[in-house]
Amino acid sequence: MKTLLLYDEITLLNRERHRNLRLQPASSFSFAAGTHYVPLAAQEFYQAARDYPILFVGEGETMAPLALLGLEEGVNLHIDEQGAWTQGAYVPAFIRRYPFVLATNAEDRFSVCFDAGFEGWNEEEGQPLFDGDGKNTAFLDEVIEFLKGFTGEMNRTDDFVKTLNDMDLLSRKTLNLKHPEGATYRIDDFHAVDEEKFAQLDDKQVLELNQKGYLGLVYAHLISLGSANRLFDSHLKRRQGSPKTHPEPEPELH
């Protein structure tokens, strides 16, 4: 049973118990083939907006942005049968940190954890986590820095979402997609920045967004919604085995 998206068996890394543990890096992204979305940090919006619709899900304090990777539960349209990610597409940090994850407690102290169910763990080949003296290897230190950076960015993302909510900018929306050959699809049960409310912000509110570095994130989010039809096209091609590609009409946001 997964306790966290992608992770089957989250285990606390122990310096003594896992002293000989090595990681053979994944040769593919097959471990993420069964997820059609991943959480996204605000810092990633600019790169992710080119490839994925960025949607806000949840309610109130639990609301968070995610990158939509597919239109069916359990189907990641950006991973092919060989486990390769779409060439040139941005790979979200949530995917890149796997199989590691950082756990924090009420005192903001952190512990490194890993998915013990990942097949790359062994004691013979790959990157060691600890040296002969039981100290962190340079590889593990790099992992920890990446995890700490990602956690910090997710905290900043929480503040970004709170700011949008405080300004009443997030509204429940529906995306209506239409393929040139007539197929349609609707994405609902998500929130997006309400462009009418956004246009009505006063100078003080716009200045606050700009000073916090959030103004550009709003535009990146809105631009990202245009990639929904490209995702729909990939969805249809995978289901029908069609090699055809078509001009992409703009999705209708309601």
The answer to whether the CB of 72 falls within 8 A of the CB of 232 is: no
101 part of a folded domain: yes
Checking if the pLDDT of 208 tops 70, the result is yes
Task: Give the range of the structural domain holding residue 129, as residue numbers without chain letter.
Answer: 10-253
In a domain, 5, yes or no: no
3, part of any domain: no
Q: Is residue 2 part of a domain?
A: no
Alpha helices, DSSP H only, in the chain? 45-48, 93-96, 138-166, 195-199, 203-211, 215-224, 228-240
Question: For the chain, what is the domain count?
Answer: 1
Answer yes or no: is pLDDT of 2 > 70: no
Of 246 and 59, more confident: 59
Closest by Cα among 95, 97, 115 to 13: 115
Query: 106 in a domain, yes or no?
Result: yes
d(CA 70, CA 51): 12
pLDDT value of position 247: 43
Model confidence pLDDT, tens digit, residues 102-122: 998 766 789 999 999 999 999
Q: How far apart are CA 115 and CA 18, in angstroms?
A: 13
The torsion region of residue 93 among left (phi > 0), alpha (psi -120 to 50) and beta comes to alpha
21-75 residue pLDDT tens: 999 988 899 999 999 999 999 999 999 999 999 999 998 888 999 999 999 999 9
Q: What's the pLDDT score for residue 250?
A: 58
Task: Please give the Cα distance from 60 to 168 (Å, whole number).
Answer: 11
pLDDT in tens, 124-162: 999 999 999 999 999 999 999 999 999 999 999 999 999
252 confidence band (pLDDT: 50, 70, 90): low
Instruction: Flag whether 215 is in a domain.
Output: yes
Is 235 domain-assigned? yes
Considering the domain boundaries, does residue 21 fall inside one?
yes
